[in-house]
Amino acid sequence: MSTIQISNLRKTYGSLVAVDGFSLRIPDGTVFGLLGPNGAGKTTAFKCMLGLARPATGEILYDGQPLVPETFARIAYVPESSVLYEWMTVAEHVEMNRRAFPKFEPARAVVLLGEFGVDARKRARTLSKGMRTAVMVALAFARNAEILILDEPTAGLDPVNQRHVLSLIINEAARGNSVIFSSHQIGQVERAAEHIAVMNRGRLVLEGQVDDLKAERKIVEGVFPGVTYTLDGIAGDPRVARIDRTERIVRLLVVAGAEEIAARLSSAGAAGIRILDLNLEDIFLYAVSPADATADVVAQGGAA
Amino acid sequence: MTYVEWLRIRGVLKWTGIVLIAGVVLLLALRLSLLTFGSNDALLFVHGLETNKGSRVVHTTLSDGTKRTTIDNSKDHVHVVIDDLGYQGKRIQIFERSSHGMTHPHKTISMGDLHVETRASGKETVTTVETNRPESFGYYAAIASFVGLIVGTLLGAPFARENDGHLEVALTKPVRRETLGLATIGVDLAGIAAAWAMTVLFLIVAHTIIEAPHFTFGPSDATLIVLGLVGNAAWYAMLCAATASMKRSYGVILGVAWPAAIVVTVLAKLQLNGSQMGQVVHAVVTPISWIDPFSYLHFGPAYTVNGQPAGSMAVAPHLELPMLAILALVYGTLAVLQWRRVEA
Amino acid sequence: MPAVLTVDPRSGVPIYLQIIEQVKRSVALGILQAGEQLPTVKQLALDLTINPNTVARAYRDLERDSVIETAPGRGSFVRSDGVGNSAKTAAADVARDALDVGLREAKSVGLSRNEVRELIDVALDRWFPEER
Q: Is A226 exposed, middle or buried (0-12, 13-18, 19+ CB in 10 A)?
A: exposed
Tell me what the pLDDT averaged over chain C comes to: 85
Q: Using a CB-CB distance cutoff of 8 angstroms, which residues of chain B are in contact with residue A144?
A: none
**Closest Cα of chain A to B164: distance in Å?**
9
Backbone angles phi, psi at A70, to 5 degrees: -60, -30
Q: What ipTM does this complex have?
A: 0.82
Nearest 5 degrees, angle CA B221-CA B223-CA B228?
A: 95
Judge whether residue A207 has pLDDT over 70: yes
Interface test with A, best of B4, B5, B167 (most A CBs within 10 A): B4
Which residue of chain B has the CA closest to A74? B174
**Mean pLDDT confidence for B152-171:** 91
Query: What pLDDT is attached to residue B307?
Result: 61
Query: What pLDDT is attached to residue B316?
Result: 74
Confidence at B314, pLDDT banded by 50, 70, 90: low
Judge whether residue A304 has pLDDT over 50: no
Judge whether residue B63 has pLDDT over 90: no
| Crossing angle (nearest 10°) for helices A106-116 and A129-141 | 150
Is A194 touching C (CB cutoff 8 A)?
A: yes
Q: pLDDT tens-digit profile of A209-234? A: 999 999 999 999 988 888 877 887 78
Element (H, E) at B268: helix B250-269
Judge whether residue A300 has pLDDT over 50: no
Which residue of chain C has the CA closest to A212? C14
Return the beta strands (E) in B85-226 as ranges. Answer: 90-97, 106-111, 114-121, 124-130, 135-136, 215-216
Is A73 touching B (CB cutoff 8 A)?
A: yes
Query: What pLDDT is attached to residue C25?
Result: 83
Query: What pLDDT is attached to residue A303?
Result: 29
Q: Using a CB-CB distance cutoff of 8 angstroms, which residues of chain B are in contact with residue A47?
A: 343-344
Neighbours of chain A (3+ CB pairs under 8 A): B, C
**Mean pLDDT confidence for C45-69:** 92
Say yes or no for a CB contact (<8 Å) between B343 and A75.
no
Question: Is B in contact with C (3 or more beta carbon pairs below 8 Å)?
Answer: no
Q: Which residues pair with C113 in a beta bridge?
A: none
Q: Using a CB-CB distance cutoff of 8 angstroms, which residues of chain A are in contact with residue B167?
A: 52, 83
| Crossing angle (nearest 10°) for helices A129-141 and A90-100 | 30
- A8's torsion region: left (phi>0), alpha (psi -120 to 50) or beta? left
**Mean pLDDT lowest for which of A179-188, A268-277, B293-302?**
B293-302
**Closest Cα of chain A to B169: distance in Å?**
7
**Closest Cα of chain B to A103: distance in Å?**
11
Say yes or no for a CB contact (<8 Å) between B3 and A101.
no
Q: Give the A:C interface size as CB pairs under 8 Å.
A: 83
Say yes or no for a CB contact (<8 Å) between A100 and B3.
yes
Q: Which residues pair with A225 in a beta bridge?
A: none
Q: Contact at 8 Å (CB) between A117 and A111? A: no
Say yes or no for a CB contact (<8 Å) between A85 and B4.
yes
Q: What is the pTM of this model?
A: 0.83
**Closest Cα of chain B to A82: distance in Å?**
8
Say yes or no for a CB contact (<8 Å) between B165 and A69.
no
Tell me how far apart the alpha carbons of residues A212 and A223 are, in angstroms, rounded to a whole number: 28
Amino acid letter, B213: P
Q: Which of C15, C42, C52 lies nearest to residue A211, judging by beta carbons? A: C15
The closest alpha carbon to C35, from C10, C4, C64, C71, belongs to: C71
Tell me how far apart the alpha carbons of residues C10 and B343 are, in angstroms, rounded to a whole number: 39
Judge whether residue B301 has pLDDT over 50: yes
